[in-house]
């Protein structure tokens, strides 16, 4: 049976090189989500992309593999995700965070 509660997905767009207090930013997001009881959480390393600078990062060329894009997705209730987003704004100022509604499907 599908979960009747409304759900949402928060996506954080990072670079492999992003850090928070000496640790990887993606790991920091996972820890923050866990600390507030959200989940599931997935971290995905992209093979290519660019941010607001327009600088292309790709794994096709060895000299441009540094700083590949990383996406962290967290699924949970909208209220909890908004609280997480506020925490992330302090930890990772200027990072793109999106929030969208999702409809969980039974497996």
Q: Report which of residues 92 and 50 the model is more confident about.
A: 92
Q: Closest Cα to residue 48, out of 75, 82, 29, 71?
A: 71
pLDDT tens string 27-58: 999 999 999 999 899 999 988 777 777 777 77
Residues 6 or more apart whose Cβ sits within 8 Å of residue 36: 80, 83, 84, 87
Domains of the chain listed by start with CATH number? 7-102 (3.30.70.120)
Q: Report which of residues 46 and 89 the model is more confident about.
A: 89
How far apart (Å, rounded) are the C-alpha atoms in residues 96 and 36? 20
pLDDT of residue 73: 97
């Amino acid at each position: 049976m599908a979960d009747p509660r409304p759900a949402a997905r928060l996506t954080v767009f990072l670079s492999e090189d992003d850090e928070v207090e000496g640790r990887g930013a993606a790991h920091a997001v996972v820890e923050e989500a866990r600390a507030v009881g959200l989940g599931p959480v997935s971290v995905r390393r992209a093979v290519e992309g660019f941010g607001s600078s327009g600088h292309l990062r790709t794994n096709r060329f060895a000299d441009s593999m540094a700083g590949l894009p990383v996406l962290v997705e967290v699924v949970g209730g909208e209220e909890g995700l908004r609280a997480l987003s506020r925490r992330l704004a302090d930890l990772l100022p200027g990072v793109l965070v999106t929030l969208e509604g999702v409809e969980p499907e039974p497996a």
